[in-house]
Chains A and B, each alone.
Chain A
Amino acid sequence: MLIGLLTIGLIANTGCKKNDSKLLQTPITFVAPSNFPTPIYQFTDNAVSQAGFDLGHRLFYENALSIDNSTNCGSCHQQFAAFANLDHKVSHGVNNCFGTRNAPTLFNLVWQPNFMWDGGVHHIELSALNALTNPCEMANSLDNIVKTLNKKTPYPTLFKNAFGSTEINSQRIFKALTQFTGMMVSANSAYDKYIRKEKGGEFTNDELAGYNLFKQKCNSCHTEPLFTDNTFRSNGLDLIPKDAGRETITLAVADFGTFRVPSLRNIALSSPYMHNGQFATLVDVLKHYNSGVQNHANLDAKLKENGVLGIPLSVIEQQQIISFLNTLTDNEFIHDPKFAELPQL
């Protein structure tokens, strides 16, 4: 049923000399789901090959990217949690250092115009840089990572397979990681099958009622089919936010305390919730929207319509919405061996 194929796969280094690595540079075709819009990132100058994807996969789970060989991307982006960090309100980096924000899910990143809770990173290829270098995450430097990988077998060969020569530099690391993370597409939830009228897309009465409520009450920010409109908003977690959020990036007072509207895909798997991980369950989240919204200066207009704070929802309505949110779980994605954790080399 996946029609409207978007083919972006090409041999990565057409200029490279004839060698065995050509065989490994089998192009991988990126397929946009038929119910999704055109991706923002088109893998321009970074055509996905099997070797490039495999290298990105290997790097994603490589402890040697952290300063003390203890942590990899998968430490805080776990596949079973839709690449968020289950049970962690904020990220737990090297040296027992805790970050300030909840690790976001990773999927459908090629549709995302910017990255991080505050949108400070504007390009998918650079989205790993913060985690690699932040003293509270992997605490490394790009120079040191390049040096480490140069000395670690079989990385020079893997880079040759992917890019045509054994040279390792930050650009190649970022491009390989992007070939891996950019291919993480989650679009096979029960909801997607319902929309595409595929087998497995049958909704129960509760799910259907929840979907109808969702379309009335939630869809303006968590817009289908990505379940985010990629804006930055305040949902009234605090009267005075402790984290300036988007304002840190734009320096606009109107952005104080606003954060990215996260996608709700796989939301049942990616607890805890919000930029600071303050809610452990979806029941808590729905309760917040019903009765916990704080009227801070930049509270989103949608959450104070007609002088009413939040989104009034009966307990039954809250449960129906949660039933619908559960249909956004994509079991194929979270069990896809292409993205699975790899043992350390």
Chain B
Amino acid sequence: MKPISIFKSLAFAALVCTILSCKKNNNEFTGSGKVNLEFDNMVGNQKLELDTGAYTNANGDDFKITTFKYRICNLTFNKADGSKTLIPESYLLIDAADEQTTLQTLDNVPAGDYVSMDFVIGVDSLRNFAGAQIGALDPAKGMYWSWNTGYIFVMLEGSSSKSTAKDNMLMFHVGGAKAPNNTVRKITLPLPAGGLRVRSNAKPEIHLKVDAAAMFKGTSIINFATLNGFHGGVNAPIIANNYAMGMFSVDHIHN
């Protein structure tokens, strides 16, 4: 009897293995899970310290930061086979001064293994020109221009001894979704080896590094003596091109 029993057990185990491996091979996970996004605000390799941190930009100009806020939207997770999953209504507003906003949760992400993610820095054109909104897009939350309707995508304020503006101010309000000064930028971030594993019974966490100094280098090195602020307009795409190059990176993932 015993041999049969062992045989049965082995057969069962083999069957289970087959099912599991089959599932795994085809990425056919069912259900959906939550994904945490943690935004670690940095300046270069240093942790961003609002008001007190002293930094130097790529041009060698000293600066301090008093405000650092940004919007991202249309988060999309991509599988190795190239398929893309857009998370509906994923509009996030992160404010370095409000710790609660630096940890965001995406609900109902379809279970699966993902190798990269896309998102828009800013607000997509459709919503930028829509009517009254709620949630992160509620104008009550700020980061919004009422006189020239539209969302401010990235806001960095502070000071630099090199700035020729009043009180040595830096005031970069990047936004605008209309040509020729469109600042909507879509980026793709590769995920570290192992990727992102979303399951219905787990809550993986993606740690993103957000480097404020990347606004001032990349495609154009910014000299604060000549460019120290704007509310959208012709200079906004210069900063948008910079931050699309390297402001966001995925540091690590806790699956």
Contact = CB atoms under 8 A, between A and B. Distances in A.
B20 interface: no
**From DSSP, what is the main secondary structure of chain A's interface residues?**
helix
A170 B233 CA distance: 27
Contacts of B140: 141-143, 146, 169-170
Nearest to B232: A251
B149 A125 contact: no
A123 B130 contact: yes
Determine which residue in A116, A120, A171, A173 has the highest number of CB atoms from chain B within 10 A of its CB, and name it: A171
Nearest to B147: A120
A136 B138 CA distance: 23
Contacts of A123: 129-132, 149
B146 A248 contact: no
B138 A130 contact: no
Contact of B149 (A121, A142, A170, A175): A121
Contact of B138 (A116, A120, A170, A175): A170
A251 B181 contact: yes
Interface in A102-146: 116, 120-126, 129-130, 133-134, 141-143, 146
Contacts of A174: 131-132
A129 B139 contact: yes
Given A142-B139, A170-B139, A251-B233, A130 B134 contact: no
Interface in B110-165: 129-134, 138-140, 146-150
A116 B139 CA distance: 18
B148 A175 contact: no
Contact of A125 (B132, B181, B234): B132
Contacts of B234: 251
Interface string A221-252: 00000000000000000000000000011010
Determine which residue in B129, B147, B149 has the highest number of CB atoms from chain A within 10 A of its CB, and name it: B149
A175 B129 CA distance: 15
Contacts of B130: 123
A248 B145 CA distance: 13
A161 interface: no
A292 B140 CA distance: 44
Contacts of A173: 132
Interface residues of A, number: 28
Interface in A134-174: 134, 141-143, 146, 169-171, 173-174
Interface string A207-229: 00000000000000000000000
Interface string A276-302: 000000000000000000000000000
A99 B132 CA distance: 25
A133 B147 CA distance: 10
Nearest to B132: A174
A251 B230 CA distance: 12
B138 A126 contact: no
Contacts of A143: 140
A188 B134 CA distance: 37
Nearest to A120: B148
A71 B225 CA distance: 43
Contacts of A129: 139, 146, 149
Nearest to A121: B149
Nearest to A124: B131
Interface in A55-91: none
B175 to A, nearest CB: 13
B131 A125 contact: yes
Contact of A171 (B129, B132, B149, B181): B132
Nearest to A41: B131
A174 B133 CA distance: 9
A45 interface: yes
A142 B146 CA distance: 12
A116 B146 CA distance: 11
A120 B147 CA distance: 6
B111 to A, nearest CB: 28
A171 B234 CA distance: 31
B148 A249 contact: yes
B91 to A, nearest CB: 13
Contact of A126 (B146, B181, B233): B146
A123 B140 CA distance: 17
A171 B133 contact: yes
A175 B139 contact: no
A126 B134 contact: no
Given A45-B131, A171-B133, A171-B134, A122 B181 contact: no
Contacts of A141: 140
Contacts of B148: 120-121, 248-249
A263 interface: no
5 nearest CB pairs, A to B: A125-B131, A142-B140, A174-B132, A120-B148, A125-B132
22 contacts: A116-B147, A120-B148, A121-B147, A121-B149, A122-B149, A122-B150, A123-B149, A126-B131, A126-B149, A129-B149, A130-B146, A142-B138, A142-B139, A143-B140, A169-B134, A170-B140, A171-B133, A171-B134, A178-B131, A178-B132, A251-B233, A251-B234
Interface of B: 129-134, 138-140, 146-150, 181, 233-234
Interface of A: 45-46, 116, 120-126, 129-130, 133-134, 141-143, 146, 169-171, 173-175, 178, 248-249, 251
Given A169-B140, A178-B132, 15 more contacts: A116-B147, A120-B148, A121-B149, A123-B132, A126-B132, A126-B146, A134-B146, A142-B138, A142-B139, A143-B140, A169-B134, A171-B134, A174-B131, A175-B131, A248-B147
